[in-house]
Amino acid sequence: MLLVDLDAQTNLTTMMIGEKGWEACNARGHTVATLFADVLDGTHRFDLESTVQRDVSSIDGVTGIDLVPSSLDLIDLQEEMSARRVAADDHLAAVEVLRAALAPAMSRYDYVLVDCPPNVGPFSLNGLFMAGGYLIPTIPDVLSTYAIPHVQRQVADFGAEIGRTIVELGVVITKYRASSSLHRDTVHRLRRDPTIQNILPAYLHEANAIGAAADHTRWPSLHAKYGYHGHYEQFRDLTRAVMIEADAKLPSIA
């Protein structure tokens, strides 16, 4: 599996390789920021083999998970990429950069997961351009779910522009509180919404153990990382649900 972090917050990156690991990658230019800086500067400094961090899982015995790290530098680069796209009057300018850069390595992986920022800007468009489908994570409250139709429309419009459908695999319910009537009512409303293709059946509940699991620490097992109060089972069930949806609806990346 390949993880690609396109979010300038770098949460996925620091979770997988830790802050010191990220700082080392960033100092060497081994992040996606170098790839997009090349587009703006006309340079060729991005090196795929050096950038991909291999076997980044913090779980003992779990191998085969690689990462393309993110960078805080994406914050400034996004503004420059957006400005260039506006100046060129071309909505599809440079949306193929990520797919072209990763193409030599794609056949190595069964799955490629791209973590996009919470907007449909130039980096998210690069992620969508190479994606067969997408997931929408949301907290089940009014404000968090308000933007779902907007995201759906933007992805559908972008798919139409590039000439193919980007499949909506489902909405992922996160930070769910079963004791909250607002959360229960919101999930019920989403499930009845005909514009939403699928609410994945495994909800990720709000819990201190899940928040603590984001720290970069070695763990002897997934159970040890996520605790023994049903949190591991939530992630296991969500993973299975995503794999079932992807295997049924998406073509192979090979």
Confidence of residue 252 (pLDDT cuts 50, 70, 90): low
pLDDT of residue 161: 95
Match domain 133-254 to its CATH number in 3.40.50.300, 3.30.1330.20, 3.30.360.10, 3.90.226.10. Answer: 3.40.50.300
pLDDT tens string 26-52: 999 999 999 999 999 999 999 999 999
pLDDT tens string 93-146: 899 999 999 999 999 999 999 999 988 999 999 999 999 999 999 999 999 999
| Per-chain mean pLDDT for the chain | 93
CA 7 to CA 15: how far, in whole Å? 13
Could you give the residue ranges of the DSSP H alpha helices within the chain?
Answer: 11-28, 32-41, 48-51, 74-88, 97-102, 122-130, 142-145, 148-162, 181-192, 208-212, 222-226, 231-249
Segments of the chain assigned to CATH 3.40.50.300 = 1-131, 133-254
pLDDT of residue 83: 86
pLDDT of residue 192: 95
CA 199 to CA 172: how far, in whole Å? 7
Enter the pTM of the model: 0.93
